[in-house]
Amino acid sequence: MIIVSDTSAINNLASINQLNLLNQLYGNVIIPTAVYKELTETTFPVAGATEVQTYSWISIRSVSNQVMVEILQKELDRGEAEAIALAVEISADQLLIDERQGRAAAERLNLRCTGVLGVLIAAKGRKLIPEVKPLLDQLIHQAGFWVAKPLYNKVLKIAGEYN
């Protein structure tokens, strides 16, 4: 399975010490150069920076189609644009991306997408985690991941944890 990730999935899962879920669910994960730079070339520590430099199951690839990246950058940041372009270029089975505009652009290009919440649901479905709710709450309170209340409830309902 070929999986490409944007910055958000790596950063947010690393923030709650659950980055290994990506390896357990998908095996290898590919990130474009811009995502690597967003995580590692900062003036302050970022969750996921050490992991993308040390985990053997995370690989970095350059995007060949810079024209597509430039077009996508008219509405998205560089990391999102490169993640989408790379996913198209290597015919990825799935793209890990959370931002609404990025997902919309990816879906227009017929890419299959999921985000951090989908990763948590899949992890529970495969019995890699016992519950989604504690991790969802950590994402919100520790990582600053914004989730609207209706989506929060929907995720818990899908995970079989909504009363």
Q: Give the distance from CA 22 to its chain's centroid.
A: 9
What is the reported pLDDT for 20?
A: 96
Going by C-alpha positions, the residue among 72, 106, 103 that lies closest to residue 87 is: 106
What is the Cα gyration radius of the chain? Answer: 15
On the question of pLDDT at 88 being above 80, the answer is yes
Q: What is the pLDDT of residues 101-116, one digit of tens each?
A: 999 999 999 999 999 9
CATH architecture of 1-163: 3-Layer(aba) Sandwich (3.40)
Domain boundaries, the chain: 1-163
Query: 87 and 95 in contact (C-beta within 8 Å)?
Result: yes
What is the reported pLDDT for 95?
A: 98
DSSP assignment, residue 90?
A: T
Q: What is the arithmetic mean of pLDDT over 78-106? A: 96
What is the reported pLDDT for 162?
A: 74
Q: What is the arithmetic mean of pLDDT over 15-24? A: 96
**Strand (E) or helix (H) holding 117:** helix 116-125
In this prediction, residue 44 has a pLDDT band, given cuts at 50, 70 and 90, of confident
On the question of pLDDT at 163 being above 70, the answer is no
Q: What is the pLDDT of residues 129-149, one digit of tens each?
A: 999 999 999 999 988 899 999
